[in-house]
Amino acid sequence: MEGPPGTVGEAGTFDRRRRTMQSVPPNSSASGAAPATLQWIGGVDGHLRIIDQTRLPEQLVHLDCHDVETVWEAIRNLRVRGAPAIGIAAAYGLCLALQPVATADVATFMDRLDESNRYLATSRPTAVNLFWALDRMNGAARSDRHQESSTVMLETLLNEAHAILAEDQQTCRAIGRHGAALLADGQGVLTHCNAGGLATADYGTALAVFFAAHESGKRLHIYADETRPLLQGARLTAWELQQRGIDVTLICDSTAAQVMREGRVQAVVVGADRIAANGDTANKIGTYSVAVLAAAHDIPFYVAAPLSTFDLALDSGDQIPIEQRAAEEITNGFGLRTAPEGINVYNPVFDVTPARYIRAIICERGLIEPVNREQIATMYQKTQC
């Protein structure tokens, strides 16, 4: 197992990886439907194909990942991003890591499994779906160990990864149905970052609410924060909504208060990367600010997320690890220097919104409202029944 590769553009790291790219016009797909964010190509000896989200909206580029190192790099450098999509990519990455030992003895296979689990877990620290998916894959392998065949265990793991993807597709649709009922025809809705199909296996979480409302005949006007410093709202959310024919207006992050003050926004819907047992929610940096602004203007603030995004081992948001990213994302955004050399930079990629600012959490089982420890526990109890 190689060590973690460096950032994009470093000589001798990602550029040496085995990968292929396919580029198509950004406004087209083979079937006319939205292109798949992730898909497995072939059988047990196949590979993972993802949309390289760093190339959007100018190019729709598919990246073929043939080894675990390429998947690690794709997660780390945001080629694939969004909590559910990260978890799915990690599950398939584990399959790629185990292909070279598919005919080895079980002990060797399990050693590689453990090593690859630890390696993939270092790609990003905040999105709990990453660890949830790895734990689920690990459990599937160990439950199959009595068969004493590495080949069979790899087949089991690939089937488990397929199941994780299929379940996420169903989850996205369910979140969309539950959330759409909260929005009225003609409303303006603000969203932050990207929680659409590009962040999941299918429909998204926050954007699933808009897609479902749109398909039911409701006319919404979406205000998309650009979401600095990497502009996921401008590059990805605006692109996804435009692709589906939904009325969208792009705004600077600092414009959110003004559009609320002007009465243009009647609801806010965002995604999540990790939710603590009490409902405190980590999402892209700037989400906390939007929640406070929504409260100041008496606008309902909703979080859309699957149950796999909850981390009930964490008592509150104070315990959620917050990823810190490179200063260059701010000082040299997209290759252009916009700050003095040597300036100090603080670049947390997430912030935590306290549960008291969240009107409801929209999950695949329905609404968690009010958002508190008891309601979250009740939802989990219903799920286990």
In a domain, 208, yes or no: yes
Cα end-to-end span (Å), the chain = 41
Q: How far lies 241's CA from each of 32, 211, 225, 347, 354, in Å?
A: 15, 8, 13, 28, 28
pLDDT at 35: 80
> Domain end: 128, 155, 172, which one?
172
Same domain, 255 and 308: yes
pLDDT at 191: 98
Please report, for the domain that includes residue 372, its CATH number.
Answer: 3.40.50.10470
Beta-strand relationship, 360-363 and 366-368: antiparallel
Dihedral angle sign, alpha carbons of residues 107, 112, 114, 115: positive
Tell me the average pLDDT of the chain.
90
Q: Which domain holds residue 26?
A: 14-172
> Domain end: 110, 137, 172, which one?
172
Residue 382 CB neighbours (<10 A): 10
Same domain, 123 and 187: no
Residue 273 annotated among the catalytic residues of the structure: yes
Q: Which residues contact 181 (CB under 8 A, 6 or more apart)?
A: none
- Between CA 283 and CA 349 the distance in angstroms is 8
144, containing H or E segment: none
pLDDT (tens digit per residue) in 43-61? 999 999 999 999 999 999 9
Question: What confidence tier does 23 reach under pLDDT thresholds 50, 70, 90?
Answer: low
Tally of domains in the chain? 2
Q: Read off the pLDDT of each residue in 200-224 and give the average, rounded to a whole number.
A: 96
pLDDT (tens digit per residue) in 278-298? 999 999 999 999 999 999 999
Question: What confidence tier does 29 reach under pLDDT thresholds 50, 70, 90?
Answer: very low
In a domain, 7, yes or no: no
pLDDT (tens digit per residue) in 349-372? 999 999 999 999 999 999 999 999
Q: Which of 144, 253, 273, 351 is catalytic?
A: 273
Please report, for the domain that includes residue 29, its CATH number.
Answer: 1.20.120.420
Same domain, 221 and 318: yes
pLDDT at 1: 52
Identify which of 376, 271, 358, 362 has the alpha carbon closest to the alpha carbon of residue 314.
Answer: 376
The phi and psi torsions of 245 (rounded to 5 degrees) equal: 75, 25
Q: Read off the pLDDT of each residue in 10-33 and give the average, rounded to a whole number.
A: 42
In a domain, 87, yes or no: yes
pLDDT at 82: 86
In a domain, 271, yes or no: yes
Question: What confidence tier does 202 reach under pLDDT thresholds 50, 70, 90?
Answer: confident
Counted residue by residue, the chain has a size of: 385
pLDDT (tens digit per residue) in 132-176? 999 999 999 988 666 678 999 999 999 999 999 999 999 999 999
DSSP helix/strand/coil, 277: coil
- Between CA 74 and CA 367 the distance in angstroms is 33
